[in-house]
Amino acid sequence: MSPYVGEFVGTMLLILLGDGVVANVLLKQSKGEGSGWMVITTGWALAVFLGVAAVVSVSGAHLNPAISIGLATLGVFEWARVPGYIVAQLLGAFTGAVLVWLAYLPHWSLTENGALKRAVFCTAPAVHSPPANLITEIIGTFVLMFGVLAMKGAFEPGQLSGAAIPMNLGALGAIPVALLVWAIGLSLGGPTGYAINPARDLGPRIAHALLPIPHKAHCDWGYSWIPVVGPIIGALIAVGLYAALGKF
The DSSP call for residue 215 is T
Write down the architecture of domain 3-244 according to CATH. Answer: Up-down Bundle (1.20)
Give the CA distances from residue 105 to residues 28, 95, 99, 205, 244, in Å, rounded to whole numbers and listed in that order: 11, 15, 10, 17, 49
Convert 227-238 into a string of H (helix), E (strand) and C (coil): HHHHHHHHHHHH
> DSSP code of 122?
S
Q: What is the pLDDT of residues 75-109, one digit of tens each?
A: 889 999 999 999 999 999 999 999 999 999 999 99
Write the pLDDT tens digit of every residue in 178-193.
999 999 999 999 999 9
User: Do residues 191 and 132 make contact, with C-beta atoms less than 8 angstroms apart?
Assistant: yes
Q: What are phi and psi of 201, to 5 degrees?
A: -90, -45
pTM, to two decimals: 0.95
List the domain boundaries for the chain.
Answer: 3-244
What's the pLDDT tens digit per position in 39-80?
A: 999 999 999 999 999 998 899 999 999 999 999 999 889 999
